Amino acid sequence: MSEPSPMTVRTVHLVSEAGWPALQENLSSLARGYATSTGFKPSAGRLLMLPGEGGAPGAALLGVGAEDGFADQPFLLGKLATDLPAGIWRVEGKVDQPTLAMLGFHLGQYRFDRFKTVAREAVSLQPIPGADIARARLVAEAICASRDLINRPANDLTTESLAQAARELGERFRAEVREIIGPELLAENLPMIHAVGAASAHAPRLIDLTWGDSRGPKVTLVGKGVVFDTGGLNIKPENSMLLMKKDMGGAAAALAAAEIIMGLQLPVRLRVLLPIVENSIAGPAFRPGDIFRSRAGTTIEIGNTDAEGRLILCDALKLADEEKPDLLLDFATLTGAARVALGPDLPPFFTEDDALAEAIERVGRAENDPVWRLPLWKPYRAMLDSKSADINNVSSGGFAGAITAAIFLKEFVRNTRAYAHFDIYGWTPSARPGRPEGGEPQAARLAASLVETWLLRKK
């Protein structure tokens, strides 16, 4: 059997239900007969390899559903990256959002192969006319770098390692990076970060990265960086601990958004704050019932040591809020309640700013990075009341866990009006086009585009 030349460019035909009869007539008799014998229907995501001359692999068919375009699955071309044979391919057919489609392909090429010894043959796709290839690659590189961080196990990604990744990113873009480590956190009035990370052999720390034009709008991104969460003394059960390497997904999302913003050279003054800890169990571990005074001066009673993310975030958010940024966003794998409410693919976000909320929803749809607004329902603040302190870190009942966590964080943001909190899952549990199973820095692409298309135009 003859094989295609290594430089042969083969074609993927994008097939809609309406366009399938005409395309079918233009196929060779061999390819047409093969498609008929397999029962090919151009449903969205259906891929069929057609035989070529001499039985060698020829062109391919990719179903796009009822209409030409990718309205429901903008990342549909990500399927080509995983399901086509290695080689060079070109797409023939209508693509409504070529840059987003190419981004889906690049994101679909991702594999976490840090610990793999077998190389994978690559699928290459020629640029789609009209696509901004440089932008698609820039965004894909940022997202895939952050996927790598989330996928790394905790013995490989320690607090030191995550901080090093932030420093390396800063060096690439000539940003200023400051790192506050261990006891220095107490001297710098960041007591909650210190308390949560005190039991680990890997010291807690805060990364403070600044970049850009000091005269531009101030954008601050805060990301939860818990490199592993045992739950502390309120230890998690085994099945809840298996994926806790991803509990630094908020920090990964903040870094991905920052890399896109810096890579696009957006005219802003960017700041990234990453509180980085490991929530471990040892003699210095913080305990249920302990009371700490936060950076804001607010006293916090520890109702549950497994609600540690909001504790490290509250100090970082207070630090961010002190300079009144024009836009403040935080990202955190914060609550299981968010997943119960909206599932793994649709992170909730919280803000009191209706204009910001509308922009977030619009940009999320445009970037295929969807989120859903939940309310900061003020009457639920009473659920966080403490008899011994100003606030408890968990609510008194099992209701509205994502909302009460967001309300807790909002207590520490008083000066910044344009503030939103994203409660992300940080993980794709089952593979889809453009989204392989594993780590995913949700809302990162949205955040970078929000700065570009909303904040800068507003200013």
A 10 A CB-CB count for 141 gives 15
CB 454 within 8 Å of CB 359: yes
Q: Which helix (H) or strand (E) holds 262?
A: helix 249-263
**Beta pairing class for 176-181 and 205-212:** antiparallel
Greatest Cα-to-Cα distance within the chain, rounded to the nearest angstrom: 81
CB 284 within 8 Å of CB 199: yes
Annotation marks residue 310 as catalytic: yes
d(CA 126, CA 115): 29
Write the CA distances from 64 to 43, 90, 252, integer angstroms: 6, 16, 32
Is 297 exposed, middle or buried (CB count within 10 Å of its CB: 0-12, 13-18, 19+)?
Answer: exposed
Backbone angles phi, psi at 95, to 5 degrees: -130, 115
CB 168 within 8 Å of CB 233: no
A 10 A CB-CB count for 67 gives 15
Q: Scanning the structure block, which residue is given the tokens 């007591």?
A: 191
Tokens of 240: 């809840």
**Residue of 79, 147, 245, 310 marked active site:** 310
Tokens of 64: 């796009």
Q: Scanning the structure block, which residue is given the tokens 């023939």?
A: 92
CB 59 within 8 Å of CB 13: yes
**Residue of 46, 135, 167, 236 marked active site:** 236
Tokens of 167: 């420093």
d(CA 217, CA 27): 55
CB 192 within 8 Å of CB 292: yes
CB 12 within 8 Å of CB 101: no
d(CA 97, CA 291): 52
In 53-182, where does DSSP find H-type helix? 78-83, 98-108, 133-151, 159-172
Tokens of 289: 């019932």
Number of residues that make up the chain:
459
Please provide the DSSP assignment of 279-335 as one string: E--STT---TT-EEE-TTS-EEE-S-TT--HHHHHHHHHHHHHTT--SEEEEEE---
User: What positions carry a catalytic annotation?
Assistant: 236, 310
